[in-house]
Amino acid sequence: MTRGDRIGHPFRDPGLLQQALTHRSAGAPHNERLEFLGDSIVNLIVAEALFARWPKADEGALTRARAALVCEGALAAMARTLELGQRLTLGPGEMKSGGHRRDSILADAFEAVVAAIYLDAGFEACRARVLPWFDAPMAAVPVGKPEKDPKTRLQEWLQARQKPLPVYELVSETGDDHARHFRVRCRLTDPDVTTEGEGSSRRLAEQQAAAAALEQLDSK
């Protein structure tokens, strides 16, 4: 471990760290395989910490929190804190285009460094070194943020894939004024999905139909 090394792990095999900080543009051995392994390790460390720290959070809240903590931008920010950019070995083209500042390259290097620590010293030592890096970001993540409603989630799913938005049609409206019952159809054209929902208001029926559509999309 060199003086001023922000990673803070004394590598028994310095070659692992060197590989973790070598981009594929610089030739083999580069960090892509380490990045693959590190991605899973980071996800496990963060998921385990969230599970332990937020005993009342549901699966949706935990999943959203983990996604926020391990997204490219978040990992790149940590890589900058660890000053990984200036230690990267890049090919001439990437060096010229400022690859050491690019989020995707920094996030990949961060995951590769985590994998290098794991291979060098095992999971317990890796977790002990890596988890403190997530302390501040984890404290900033709002826990238990309410789940988005099914209509919003369906719309976002379609927009993310540049698909047409759903059309909701009122199929029937029955019952007395004080006990109305609505049946609504939700129709998607791409992918071709049609579902129905029922409820005591048109809005609730639309939410039920959207939830059913999401279930079908998840199973496709």
Q: Point out the residues that are catalytic.
A: 39, 111
Q: State the Cα–Cα distance between residues 55 and 175, nearest whole angstrom.
A: 43
CA 99 vs. chain centroid, Å, equals 23
Give the span between the Cα atoms of 1 and 175, in whole angstroms.
Answer: 75
Tokens encoding 33: 């395989």
DSSP state of 88: -
What strands, in cross-sheet order, belong to the sheet with 193-199? 167-174, 181-188, 193-199
Q: What is the largest CA-CA distance in the chain?
A: 78
Rounded distance between C-alpha atoms, residue 82 and residue 8, angstroms: 9
Query: 3-state DSSP call for residue 197?
Result: strand
From residue 108, alpha-carbon distances to 25, 62, 123, 130 in Å are 13, 23, 19, 15
Burial of 171 (0-12, 13-18, 19+ CB in 10 A): middle
CA 48 to the chain's CA centroid: 15
